[in-house]
Amino acid sequence: MAGTPRRGLGWGDTRNIVQNWFGQSFRKVHLLYVSPQWVTNRGERFDPVAYAEGYANAGVDCIELYCKDHHGTCYYPCSLGIPYPRNILGELLPELKKRDIRLIAYVSVCFDNYALGLHPEWRMVNNYGDPYKLGAFPMASICSPYTEFVLQQLQELAQNYDVDGFWLDIIPLARDVPQDPWMIAPHPIPDYSLYAQKRYREQTGERLPLRPVGDEADQLFEFMTAQVETFMNRAYAVIRQYRPDAVITYNAAGAPGDPLDSADLTSIEGHAPNYARQSFISRWSKARAKPFEIMTAGGLPRMEVGGGWNGFDQKPPQIMRLEAAVALAHGGSTLIGQAPYATGDTDPAQFEGFAKVYRPIRALEPWLTNPAGVSDIALIVAAKPRAASTQWGRMQDGAEAFHEAMLDEHLQFDIVQLDADLSRYQGVILSEQTALSDAEVERVRDYVRGGGRLLATGSTSLYDERGRRRPDFALADVFGASYDRESNAQFAYLRLLSDELRSQVTALPILIDREPLQIRLHGGEPRGQFLYPDSLRTDATTILWGDAPPDETQAFAGLIENRFGQGTSTYLPVPLKARGFPNMWLKYLMRVLARRLVPTPLLTTSAPPGVEVVLNRQNGRYVVNLVNYHVGDSDRPSFEDRAIVLSGLEVRLDLARLGLDEVSRVYAAPDTPVEYAVDDGWLTIAVPPVEIHTVLAIE
């Protein structure tokens, strides 16, 4: 193949190019042009002018076009793959260029039913020889000659078409650990194809283990990851030879579980109605030095996660507007899917739906680009998806649980890694951040010693940066408690001992349906205790359909507070997660514990839970985004003319902490004055009615 392989694309290679357009492009459509061989009148109704005009009228500024799909069909002339009766790419691209609409070429990589049907030996298989499949699609082995096949397809596409970028799908990336909900494509191990076996023996001198465990599994994951990295570097080189300025990314690029992180931008799937997950992705991506997008299906979901990509029943416009607003509040874009009919045409109503989403965004763009979060709390995601590959899932889940609690509490927080400047924050949260290096531990220790406030949970710091178990918490001195042993309790009750916490949360025992750790105190003060149940959870021990009650004789240290240097630590030895009715008391507790980190908040508001409030510094001013999740309630959908509008809200800002001596103007973007008052160093803003997304500017 043409092109010189090199290690990683690297953000610096195309930084200026991406900043010049992708980071300022907020109106994108993911055109899933999929037209299988069985379709009647296949492609006959495709009208490139109608598509381009529809996008232009809707305010769309970038299209991501399926140029090769999972079936193996190529929608451009290619010497490999299933040919298509029309050159969809060649016909649509010039029409888009006439209207200043960019095009990113989508290519399905490891799903290819055509190639894997011709060459079943190219499939990724398990140790029984059974192919790995997702629905109708087996996955190609990245060790097989299939890579040459797909690289040639990429070369012909890049050589012949002046596209603005490439989006590579179905890249097997992450260690296959539980994900709730799904975020990134796992790389099942072992890949026991003949090609993987041969390459493993060539590189290690050993046979590929049949059932890898422990260190074997870690080594095998690193081997598989290295094969993916080698392929991706070759793909980058092939594309760059012909399109040096093209943006290149892949599905789940930059996600917490991505062991490569070599794309030009962060690109992660997040789907309605999980708006809090979309916010988590946005906050995670915002702190990175790359533009980001959230991909969401345009159709109503058919599966728990990820469905709706090929749905023809487009989501109501208010749902798409809400999803777009979540990313916009953090300076990112939402790539919304569009499913045309397999005959080539599409319903004009889809363009009407996009217009209701993207035309309002166009007017707000000057207040959206390149925001910097202004925050009180650092929520740490220190996942190391390559070095400590078994830990990334629980580290992500731990942080995401507190993310949801702080959204409801309207605390201003950034999601960052431990190389961030922690001194900027009043509080730091390490929620189940299990795998920390000695250097990261020392940064946390220095932060607390210098007067910072720490909130930590679960097995935080019990593993090193390679995912190896330590004999004790590396932060035991900060916690004021040491690891003793795993408990044999399937769940536990937490009884709060602090009068303040009991009044703020509840005096009742709180059921925590997770396995706590048993700890030994050495200096920390108990502010809560775990009560183990009187019996393990079995069919024989049920009380009607309920769990056994707490056993007062099995009480162990629970919530611990500790002074360390000039700062304080609060530690709860259980991984917290709170979603749904059974966990309401636990969610209250999480909100209260997070709020205690911030005695003097930058921002307070009367907005109810379900409204995300985001404070940014942007273009020499402060900008407050209010995003109303209530319009996205899928069980109580509201029509556009009966939207759930929130009125009478206030936002208050601490001017001294923002460094503002005076305020000359407050308005709702693009240019609607709002009432405000300055009193005793606080700016109080009377927020105009919030339908979906309101942007307040302070100058």
Are residues 589 and 609 located together in one domain of the fold? no
d(C-alpha 167, C-alpha 160), whole Å:
17
Could you give the CA distance from residue 657 to residue 176 in angstroms, rounded to a whole number?
44
The average confidence (pLDDT) of the chain is: 93
**Burial (0-12, 13-18, 19+ Cβ within 10 Å), 418:** buried
Cβ neighbors of 639 (< 8 A, separation 6 or more) are none
Q: Tell me: pLDDT of 235 over 80.
A: yes
Number of folded domains that form the chain: 3
Cβ contacts of 34 within 8 Å, gap of 6 or more: 66, 69, 70, 71, 73, 310, 339, 342
Q: How far is CA 283 from CA 93, 243, 327, 617, in A?
A: 33, 31, 9, 15
Q: Whose CA is closest to 272, among 609, 633, 610?
A: 633
Tell me the residue range of the domain where 468 lies.
375-595
Task: With a cut of 80, say whether residue 242 has pLDDT above it.
Answer: yes
Decide: helix, strand or coil at residue 495.
strand
State how far the Cα of 337 lies from the Cα of 270, in Å rounded to an integer. 12
Which of the four pLDDT bands, split at 50, 70 and 90, describes residue 6?
very low
Q: Is the same domain home to 566 and 686?
A: no
Do 450 and 336 share a structural domain? no
Looking up residue 642, the CATH number of its domain turns out to be 2.60.40.1180
Cα Rg of the chain (Å, integer): 26
* pLDDT at site 643: 77
Identify the band that residue 544 occupies on the pLDDT scale cut at 50, 70 and 90: confident
- Alpha helices per DSSP H over 295-417: 317-328, 348-364, 392-409
Let me know whether 490 and 577 are in one domain. yes
The verdict on 540 and 575 lying in the same domain is yes
The residue to which tokens 């046979």 are assigned: 207
In a shared domain, residues 386 and 507: yes
Cα–Cα distance, 115 to 41 (Å, whole number): 24
Is the per-residue pLDDT at 423 higher than 60? yes
- pLDDT above 90 covers a percentage of the chain that reads 86
Helix axis angle for 194-204 and 215-242, nearest 10°, is 100
Element (H, E) at 336: strand 333-338
* Side-chain half-sphere CA neighbours of 389 within 13 A: 25
4, part of any domain: no
Q: How far apart are CA 45 and CA 5, in angstroms?
A: 41
269-314 confidence digits (pLDDT tens): 999 999 999 999 999 999 998 999 999 999 987 655 456 898 899 9
Say which residues have a Cβ less than 8 Å from residue 12's Cβ, sequence separation at least 6: none
Instruction: Report whether pLDDT(666) > 60.
Output: yes
The backbone region for 544, taken as left when phi is positive above 0, alpha when psi lies in -120 to 50, beta otherwise, is: left
- Output the pLDDT for position 16: 53
Please check whether residue 168 lies inside any domain of the structure: yes
| Digit-coded pLDDT (tens) for 56-108 | 999 999 999 999 999 999 999 999 999 999 999 999 999 999 999 999 999 99
338 with 454, same domain? no
Beta pairing class for 621-628 and 611-618 = antiparallel
Beta bridge partners of 349: none
Helices and strands of the chain, counted as H and E runs: 16, 33
* Residue 138 preceded by cis peptide, ω within 30: no
Between 211-225, 345-359, 410-424, the lowest mean confidence (pLDDT) is in 211-225
pLDDT at 12: 39
Q: How high is the pLDDT of residue 305? A: 47
CATH number of the domain to which 90 belongs: 3.20.20.80
Q: Which of 338, 367, 396 is the last residue of a domain?
A: 367
Residue the block writes with tokens 């890949």: 191
Domain-located, residue 1: no
Q: Per mean pLDDT, which range of 45-49, 184-188, 354-358 is the poorest?
A: 184-188
From residue 571, how far is each of 92, 184, 480, 485 by CA, in Å?
57, 30, 9, 16
Instruction: Give the span between the Cα atoms of 164 and 111, in whole angstroms.
Output: 23
pLDDT on residue 635:
84
Q: Which of 248, 275, 207 is nearest to 105 (CA)?
A: 248
Q: Domain for residue 2, yes or no?
A: no
Q: How would DSSP label each residue in 405-447? A: HHHHHT--EEEE-TTS-GGG-SEEEEES--B--HHHHHHHHHH
Q: Which helix (H) or strand (E) holds 678?
A: strand 676-679
Q: Is residue 184 part of a domain?
A: yes
Q: What is the CATH number of the domain that holds 571?
A: 3.40.50.880
Domain boundary (528, 560, 595) is at: 595
Within this chain, do residues 336 and 411 fall inside the same structural domain, yes or no?
A: no
Q: Determine how β-strand 666-668 pairs with β-strand 693-698.
A: antiparallel
Residue 354: pLDDT over 80: yes
Are 240 and 296 members of one domain? yes
Whether 661 shows a pLDDT value over 50: the answer reads yes
Name the least confident of 12-16, 335-339, 369-373.
12-16
Looking at 315, 346, 367, the residue that finishes a domain is 367
Distance, CA of 535 to CA of 553 (rounded, Å): 12
**Contact indicator for 611, 628 with CB cutoff of 8 Å:** yes
Domain match, 618 and 690 both: yes
- Is residue 3 in a domain? no
Asked if 379 and 468 sit in the same domain, the reply is yes
Q: Report if residue 416 sits inside a domain.
A: yes
Q: Indicate whether 551 and 622 sit together in one domain.
A: no
Structural element, H or E, at residue 624: strand 621-628
